[in-house]
Every structure is written in C-alpha cells, then in structure tokens.
Amino acid sequence: MLTGVGLGPGDPELLTMKAVRLLKEADIVYIPGGLARRLVEPYCTPVELSFPMSHDEAMIRAQLLENAERIASDARHKNVVFGIIGDPNIFSTFSRLSVILKERFPEISITTVPGISSITALMSETRLPITGGFCVTDGSEIRSQIRMKVRKPREIAEQLRNEGYTRFALVERMYMDGMQIHTGDDLPEESSYFSLLYAERDL
C-alpha cells in the first residue's frame, strides 16, 4: 500500500493531523528531497529519493522508473508513505510517479491525502482573498477546470462538452455525511450546494 501525503507549503504547523498520523504509522516514509525532511523528521526517519530538476525528459523518466521500482518493492507488503511538499495531486512529482506505478505494478493500492497547497497559502500570506473565478497554471495550456457550488452538474457538463471537455467527476458534500462521488456520464441533474465538478479535456 502506498499513500501520497501532502506536507503543506513548508510551515511545520500546517501539516494536517491526518498527515502526522500517517507519518507515524508508516513502515517506510519516502521523501523527494531535503525540503520535506525537516517537516517529517519529528515523526519518522525518512528515506530520501533523488528526483533531478532538469529539462532532460529522458533522465527524469529514468529516475522515476528507478524510484518506482524501489518504492514498489516495499509497497507490495508494507505500509509506505510518500511525503511531498504541498499537495500530492497538484503539480506534483507524486502524480508522475503514480502513473508509472499503476502501469507497472497494478497490484499496489495507491491513495492520496491532501495537503495545504501553495495556492491557498499564497492568499493567506498576501491577504488577498479570492472572491471570483480564477486560473492556476504552470504556463502550459489549460486542460482542466474545477467548478464550485455546482447545483446543476449535468447541464454544466453538457456546456463544457461543447468546449471539448470529455472527462468529468463530481463530489457532493466532500468529507461530510452523505458524501457522494459521480464520474463519467453518471452525473445527477441536481446536486448539493457543497459540490465540486472536475472537467478535463485532451490537448
């Protein structure tokens, strides 16, 4: 079992209680570099893996494959955590690593635990709250979007299909009583005020 755990934006006090618990319970904790070390060392003794910062895609891919092999050898029989700065699903090394692991080692269960991202931390530090629609990008072409407070998800999905979006996921009442997850074409006509719709298109 492998769990990608978000460690937050760098402040040790911004680790979630769940992150701390999982770090303590893990048989092995991997981290992708020194920045994460000071966040996890109060709770475990981490194993640092090398993930080169480079534009050489072949070198990056080779290192990802090597690290995936090492992690898989433990995750088959042990409780393994991969701790990463920010959130494991937003512009994350863990996302690329997960793709390889799912392809080569489909028997390994992979889950993630969200962390406070630099996006929300930015607004706290600048004291500039977001009060309307906004865009987050790494400079590449935008391929996905998230809609909040979605009351008519099926209708919105149909509008987005006209813009080339083909993949959808709706979560109602996330982490609340009555939480529901809908994917693909299984979108309800109406949903709770506490709903988020994810839409993705191929580029």
Cα–Cα distance, 21 to 190 (Å, whole number): 36
What pLDDT score does 34 carry? Answer: 80
Whether the pLDDT of residue 186 is over 90: the answer is no
Whether the pLDDT of residue 53 is over 90: the answer is no
Rounded to an integer, the average pLDDT of 78-102 is 95
Band (51; pLDDT cuts 50, 70, 90):
confident
Q: For a pLDDT cut of 70, what percent of the chain falls above it?
A: 100
What pLDDT score does 16 carry? Answer: 97
Based on C-alpha coordinates, what's the Rg of the chain? 18
What pLDDT score does 74 carry? Answer: 97
The first and second tokens of residue 40, run together, are: 């996890």
For 94-120, the pLDDT digits (tens) are 999 999 999 999 999 999 999 999 999
Residue 93 is given by DSSP the state H
Architecture of domain 2-119: 3-Layer(aba) Sandwich (3.40)
Residue 175 is given by DSSP the state T
Distance of CA 50 to the CA centre of its chain: 20
Tokens 């680790």 belong to residue: 15
What pLDDT score does 167 carry? Answer: 95
Rounded to an integer, the average pLDDT of 23-47 is 95
The first and second tokens of residue 118, run together, are: 């630099």
The first and second tokens of residue 164, run together, are: 């080339």
- Record the pTM: 0.89
